[in-house]
Chain A
């Protein structure tokens, strides 16, 4: 994190930027608990009513993979640090000068892995109302996502329809596959139909499925052991979900569906798209409903958030790799991933991409894919 000097050029550049991935988080479970119906509060129990702080079950199921760096930084803040790593990034004001900041939830993304689908729907509803009241109702430059409990797609669609009228809702966040199938499965169609009806994209965010009770492995082939492994392999489920959306013909059924993927970086794109096209050319008998190459569906329906931007030893190699995908500059949307330890500030990302891509990556592509009702120009 860096403080930004008030130089005019830099200031003007920042005012056009849309940060597509900022994680907002409640201060404590107590804060979220207030948004739950009384019956579900009773279901949870009373925190601290038993010795040792016990007495309630956690609202969120825990991640098996905690970021050791983040814990250290938050502890640093609690001990008189500068607050640069607090879990409420936008409250510090260092994003206020951007054109828009898209709040995508943090541990709220885990709700889609809760084994109790009824409780998951309540958590999601509470989290969405918390997000609207705490962060979006007062406008500013903040937009947010509607969190979806994907365990029950019909109910998730109702939640989307209930909340989509809020002008600061920019999309729908899918943190994990709640039914254990990749996101192209027909059971998920109600979510997509509701999103399309409301003019909203869906954002699939990596690592929402890395909880203890998740029915999905967060990485292909089995569960990793550490947080670092999860991070290194974060793009894997994104590839699975996008492949599934294409193969199941979701983009043939819903021509207006737009998808944003975040949290997996970008360097996987070339080999992923090459391989998809290569294999589909030879195996299209399985999928005669596909009328176009997978890469063509991808280019028309998907955007990719840069966070966490890949760092090759030779920095220009990233650009050389990406430009092998024709039109890749129309796919990428800047996202910082704040306040995670691998967050990318604007000053970190700008020099790593060509100047000619700047407007599209930092602004134009996000404006095309997200519903940013109040954002002019």
Chain B
């Protein structure tokens, strides 16, 4: 079930629109953030040691085709935990070192941000 968590303007703030917001849906804490025009929703704490991800950073993915090369992978959006720097792909929730962050479907509709936390919320 999609929940309305607020207007787009509430979340797209600051020069780069990349602030992470902590929201509550049905008693469940989660994070909402924009990257460009796309909105993401994910668990509020890091699966490593429960670091507060709303205090973390959004980053573009990096990839390497050979030792010594680094390329920005714009299509990959990561959240980095503020405590130990573990990064999670917001499309899949995966960390390259194992561990998985819970992510939730999110979309924009008529200027509103909608998040689906499932039936358990």
A contact residues vs B (CB 8 Å cutoff)? 186, 248-249, 252-253, 277-278, 280-285, 288-289, 293
Contact = CB atoms under 8 A, between A and B. Distances in A.
Nearest to B63: A288
Interface string B59-101: 1001110111110000000000100111100000001110000
Interface string B90-120: 0000011100000000000000000000000
A293 B95 CA distance: 12
B86 A282 contact: yes
Interface of B: 48, 59, 62-64, 66-70, 81, 84-87, 95-97
A281 B96 CA distance: 8
Secondary structure class of chain A's binding surface, majority of residues: helix
Nearest to A293: B97
A282 B59 CA distance: 13
Contacts of B62: 285, 288
Given A281-B97, A293-B97, A288 B70 contact: yes
Secondary structure class of chain B's binding surface, majority of residues: loop
Given A252-B67, A277-B97, 7 more contacts: A248-B67, A253-B67, A280-B97, A282-B85, A284-B97, A285-B87, A289-B66
Task: Report which residue of B59, B69, B81, B87 has the largest number of chain A beta carbons within 10 angstroms of its beta carbon.
Answer: B87
A288 B73 CA distance: 11
Contacts of A252: 67
Contacts of A280: 97
Contacts of A186: 68
18 contacts: A248-B67, A277-B97, A278-B84, A281-B48, A281-B84, A281-B85, A281-B95, A281-B97, A282-B81, A282-B84, A282-B86, A284-B96, A284-B97, A285-B59, A285-B62, A288-B64, A288-B70, A289-B69
Contacts of A248: 67
A276 to B, nearest CB: 12
Contacts of B84: 278, 281-282
A285 to B, nearest CB: 6
Given A281-B84, A282-B85, A282-B86, A289 B68 contact: yes
Contacts of B64: 288-289
Given A281-B84, A285-B87, A288-B62, A249 B67 contact: yes
B67 A289 contact: yes
A288 B96 CA distance: 10
A253 B59 CA distance: 28
A249 B96 contact: no
A107 to B, nearest CB: 35
A342 B70 CA distance: 46
10 closest A-B pairs (Cβ-Cβ)? A282-B85, A249-B67, A288-B64, A289-B64, A282-B84, A289-B67, A281-B97, A288-B62, A252-B67, A253-B67
